[in-house]
């Protein structure tokens, strides 16, 4: 596996994890829509703290470990299935599982159509749900992209999507959104460092309020987001 990052691979990571990549990331708030309605997130400081906890103690850490595990597993498809199944099972609610696997399936199809991994079969051959982080880790390994850079790019994109949701929902100004991203930079670094050395089976989460908000969001009367 590559430890470097060529210019072409940097371009690919930026494209794959861009908000414009067709996985529908803009439609997911990870339960934040309910958190805003319930009064848990009402300004930039609270948004940063909420997202920081999700990164460190919730899906951010799970995804970092899953992304790294998938990258290391390439090209073992049996291992990929096991990692995907475990990562999907770690979702705390139905909507969070949808958020992970719908984006994963969309990423797999779009990636295979334009950047096919050498030796890969048609993406339609996948007969199991694959979370977004797992699909990204697998594709990056197939294109010999640095595992550390892949996990960093994924964690950054995950955080940026939640900040974008907060900007819409709280609402926050664009500058406050950027302040949130600046605040989260060291958190992302820590998540990446831990995700690279933590076995997916050893990951534990502790974001009860976020998880409950995600569950309650399923019956929220007026919704902008799918999760």
**pLDDT at residue 5 in the model:** 62
Task: Please report whether residue 70 resides in a domain.
Answer: yes
Task: Please report whether residue 31 resides in a domain.
Answer: no
The CATH number linked to 157 is 1.10.4190.10
What 3 state SS string does the chain have? CCCCCCHHHHHHHHHHCCCCCCCCHHHCCCCHHHHHHCCCCCCHHHHHHHHHHHHHHCHHHHHHHHHHHHHHHCCCHHHHHHHHHHHHHCCCCHHHHHHHHHHHHHHHHHHHHHCCCCCCCCHHHCCCCCCHHHHHHHHHHHCCCCHHHHHHHHHHHHHHHHHHHHHHHCCCCHHHHHHHHHHHHHHHHHHHHHHHHCCHHHCCCCCHHHHHHHHHHCCCCCCCCCC
Task: Please report whether residue 172 resides in a domain.
Answer: yes
Task: Please report whether residue 177 resides in a domain.
Answer: yes
Q: What's the number of domains the chain is made of? A: 1
Percentage, residues of the chain above pLDDT 90: 91
Task: Please report whether residue 221 resides in a domain.
Answer: no
The model's pTM: 0.95
pLDDT tens-place string over residues 161-205: 999 999 999 999 999 999 999 999 999 999 999 999 999 999 999
Per the structure, the complete domain to which residue 67 belongs is given by: 38-117+127-215
């Amino acid at each position: 596996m590559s430890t470097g990052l060529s210019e072409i691979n940097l371009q690919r990571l930026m494209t794959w994890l861009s908000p414009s990549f067709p996985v529908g990331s803009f439609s997911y708030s990870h339960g934040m829509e309910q958190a805003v309605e319930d009064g848990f997130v009402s300004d930039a400081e609270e948004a940063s703290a909420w997202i920081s906890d999700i990164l460190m103690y919730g899906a951010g850490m799970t995804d970092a470990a899953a992304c790294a595990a998938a990258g290391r597993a390439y090209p073992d498809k049996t291992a990929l299935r096991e990692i995907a199944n475990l990562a999907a099972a770690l979702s705390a609610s139905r909507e969070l599982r949808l958020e992970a696997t719908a984006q994963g399936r969309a990423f797999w199809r779009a990636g295979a159509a334009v950047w096919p991994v050498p030796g890969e079969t048609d993406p339609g051959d996948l007969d199991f749900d694959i979370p977004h982080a797992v699909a990204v880790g697998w594709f990056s390994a197939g294109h010999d992209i640095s595992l550390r850079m892949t996990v960093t790019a994924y964690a950054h994109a995950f955080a940026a999507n939640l900040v974008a949701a907060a900007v819409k929902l709280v609402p926050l100004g664009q500058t406050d959104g950027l302040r949130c991203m600046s605040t989260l930079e060291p958190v992302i670094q820590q998540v990446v460092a831990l995700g690279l050395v933590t076995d997916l089976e050893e990951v534990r989460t502790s974001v009860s309020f976020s998880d409950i908000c995600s569950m309650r969001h399923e019956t929220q009367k007026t919704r902008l987001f799918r999760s």
